Structure 1
Amino acid sequence: MTRSSKAACLAWDGASRPASRQRVFITGASSGIGAALARRYAARGDELGLVGRRRDALQALVDGLPGQGHRVYALDVRDRAALHAAAQDFLAGGPVDLVIASAGISAGTLTDAPEDYAVFEAILDTNVLAMVATFEPFIAPMRTRGSGTLAGIGSVAGVRGLPGAGAYSASKAAVRAYCESLRVELHGTGVRVVTLAPGFIATPMTARNPYRMPFLMPVERFAEKAQRAIDAGVSYRVIPWPMGWVARLLRLVPDALYDRAASRRKRKPRQGEHA
C-alpha cells in the first residue's frame, strides 16, 4: 500500500471540506473503466482513493488528475487484508461518500480444460469476492451517517451464459444478485446500492475480443453516463441503453433457441490463445 506525494500533502477534515466535494474510493483504477471514472470524478473536484495492481499506472493517472489529496493504493484486490487497510487509511481522512467496485478481469475458460480451474478461481475471486471485500469496511460508517453509495460494476455478460465465458458470465451474474441482496439489506438506512451493467466498452479488456461488439462505447462516454446514473441513485442500469433492450430480449428467448444461436458465437480466447 502506498501514497503518492500528492496524497501526503493534504488531509481533509470531513467537517470542513466543501459540501460539493465528495470523497470517492475506486478499485480497478489502473486502467479501463476504473481510470475513466477516476478522471471523471476528479474533474468535478472530488477527492479520490484509487486502488489498482500497477503502481506506475496509478501514479501516472494521479499525476494527470486535477486537484489534490488523491491517494493511491497499489495492491491486488484479492488480498482482503491489504484492501481493508487501504479502505481504513482513506476513511481516516474523513467520511467516504461513494465506493465504486470496478476491479474486474476476464478471460476465456473451458470447464473440460483442467488448467482453466485456476482461471475460474481468479475471475470469481476478483469480480465477486473482492467486491464484497471492497464494500465491507464502508458499510458501518455509511449506515451510522445515514448516507453513502456503493456502486458495483457488473456486465451484460451476466444476463445469459456465453460460450467460453463460463467464469466471466457466472461472476457478473453473481455481481447482480449480490448487489441486489445488499440493496435490500440496506433499504431504509440511507445507504444506496447501484449496479451498473456495461455493454461493450472500449477498454483493454475488450480489445482482444474476436467477435462483433454491437454498440461499442468509448470508455470516457461510459464514465459520463455511469456518473449520472450513480448521482441519480438508480438501482440497476445497463449502459449503453440499447444494450439494455438487448438484455431484456435475451431473458425472453427460449433456451432451445438461445442455445442454438449462442453455440455458433465465437468464444473469448483462453489465456495463451490468439484471437
Structure 2
Amino acid sequence: MNAVRLKVFITGASSGIGQALAEHYVRRGAAVGLVARRADSLAAFAARFPDASLSLYPVDVRDAAALADAARRFIAEHGPADVVIANAGVSRGVLTGEGDLDTFRAVMDINYYGMVATFEPFIASMTAARRGTLVGMASVAGVRGLPGSGAYSASKAAAAKYLESLRVEMRPLGVAVVTIAPGYVRSEMTAHNPYPMPFLMNADRFAEKASRAIERRVRYATFPWQMRVAGMLLHALPRWLYDRLFERAPRKPRTSEQ
C-alpha cells in the first residue's frame, strides 16, 4: 500500500482522534479527505500542511446527501478511496424522563447513522475494484450500558453490531471492515469528564496504533490494550453484580448541545 499514494477519507476530522489520524496519514504522504462540521478547524489544519494533498468538506454527517456529495468529489479528485474512516462521534450525558429525547436522537444520528451514511457512497467503487478498507469507531463504552450515557453506549453498541454485519457482507467482495474500539483517549470529548479515566491515551499514540490495525485489516481492535481486558471483564460480569457496582458510578453531565 505504501508504493502508491494512499487515499484516505476521514469524518470527525476537526479534533481528537479524527485529527490525529488525519495528521498521521498526511505525514505518510496520503491524499486525505477531511469531513467535519467546523470549517474553521479544517482550514486551520490544512494551513499547517500547505504541501499536503488535502480535500476539505465542512459537512455534518447527519446530512447524508451532503456527505455523499463529498464522497463523490473525493473520488473524482483522487480516485477510489483505499481507506474510509467513519470517526465522527459525540458523547452527551442523558437521562430518560428528563426531556432529553432530542439529545438521544442526535447522538444516535451522528454515531450510528452517520457511520452508515459515510460508508454508503464508497461501497460501489470499492466492491467494483474488490479492494479497500472501511473503518468504524465503536467504543469500550458500548460493551455495557453505562448509567447516564444511555445514548452514547447504545449508539456505540449499535455501531459495533453494524460493523460486524458489514464485515461479513463485504468479505466475499474483497473489502475489509475494521472495528476500532477506543478506551479513554485525550480529546475534547473526554476533557470535561468528571470521573477518573484509567489508561488515558494520547490521541497521536492512539492514531499510530489504530493505523497499524487498519493496515493489517484487523477485524476488531481495542486501544489501549488494558481497556480490552477491562471490556472483556465488563462483558463477563453477571447482571446483578454489574448493577450493584455501577448504580452509583459517576456520570457524564447532561447537556442541551446537539
Alpha-carbon RMSD across the aligned residues, in angstroms, is: 1.2
One-letter amino acid matched to 1:177: K
The 5-angstrom pairing of residues 1-275 of structure 1 reads 19-65=3-49, 67-93=51-77, 94-114=79-99, 116-271=100-255
Distance 1:23 1:67, change over 3 A: farther
> Could you tell me how far 1:69 is from its partner in structure 2?
2.5
> Could you tell me how far 1:67 is from its partner in structure 2?
3.8
One-letter amino acid matched to 1:186: M
Percent sequence identity over aligned pairs:
56
The number of equivalent residue pairs is: 255
Deviations 1:194-217 (A, max 9, x none): 000000000010011111100000
8 Å Cα contact 1:42/1:67 also seen in 2: no
Instruction: For 1:237 and 1:88, locate their aligned partners in 2 and report how far apart those are by CA, in whole Å.
Output: 29
Deviations 1:141-179 (A, max 9, x none): 000001000000111000001010000000000010000
Instruction: For 1:224 and 1:74, locate their aligned partners in 2 and report how far apart those are by CA, in whole Å.
Output: 25
One-letter amino acid matched to 1:113: E
One-letter amino acid matched to 1:240: P
Aligned to 1:176, the other structure's residue is in SS state helix
Deviations 1:1-38 (A, max 9, x none): xxxxxxxxxxxxxxxxx833111000000111100000
> Could you tell me how far 1:264 is from its partner in structure 2?
1.4
TM-score by length of 2: 0.97
> Could you tell me how far 1:65 is from its partner in structure 2?
2.6
After TM superposition, the structure 1 stretch with the greater mean CA deviation from structure 2, 53-62 or 64-73, is: 64-73
| Structure 2 residues not aligned, in runs of 5+ | none
The structure 1 segments of at least 4 consecutive aligned residues displaced by more than 6 Å after TM superposition are none
TM-score by length of 1: 0.91
